[in-house]
């Protein structure tokens, strides 16, 4: 979390004067938010954000999508998978590895690390002659 997020959460906790066992974000009745309600809140704010970022209209943003993204951002910056697994509450890093399979940037980094010595960095660009040959087949 950013320092600003921590500040806001601390102020919210102090304002509520809640006990640790009480929900951080309760319903009007003081109960925990249901999964459905969290999904509705995410959908509402996604629709609002899509006014500024139209590409969001084509995306399926869910609480799990946000959890996945929040887990993969530190991974892309080099945080080890065991730390992320602990943070997410996964009992095994195998569960966390599932998140990595969906991240194209991590796949690209892995491929870049496996290139033979002396290979130029970047994507392979076939020559015009090779493309012409393949087209003729």
Distance CA 112, CA 15 (A): 49
pLDDT (tens digit, 9 = 90+) per residue, 78-135?
898 899 999 889 998 888 888 776 667 766 777 777 766 677 777 778 899 999 999 9
Domain limits at 57?
A: 41-115
Residue 128, domain member (yes or no): no
Same domain? For 1 and 24 the reply is yes
> Exposed, middle or buried by CB within 10 Å (0-12, 13-18, 19+), for 120?
exposed
Model-level pTM? 0.60
Residue 122, domain member (yes or no): no
Same domain? For 72 and 102 the reply is yes
């Amino acid at each position: 979390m950013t320092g600003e997020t921590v500040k806001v959460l601390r102020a919210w906790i102090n304002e509520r004067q809640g006990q640790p066992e009480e929900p951080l974000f309760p319903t009007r009745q003081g109960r925990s938010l249901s999964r459905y309600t969290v999904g509705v809140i995410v959908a509402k704010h996604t629709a609002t954000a899509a006014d500024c970022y139209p590409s969001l209209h084509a995306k399926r943003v869910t609480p799990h999508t946000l959890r996945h993204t929040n887990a993969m951002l530190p991974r892309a910056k080099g945080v080890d998978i065991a730390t992320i697994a602990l943070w997410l509450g996964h009992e095994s890093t195998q569960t966390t590895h599932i998140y990595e399979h969906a991240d194209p940037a991590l796949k690209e980094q892995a491929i870049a690390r496996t290139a033979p010595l002396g290979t130029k960095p970047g994507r392979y660009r076939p020559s015009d002659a090779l493309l012409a040959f393949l087209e003729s087949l």
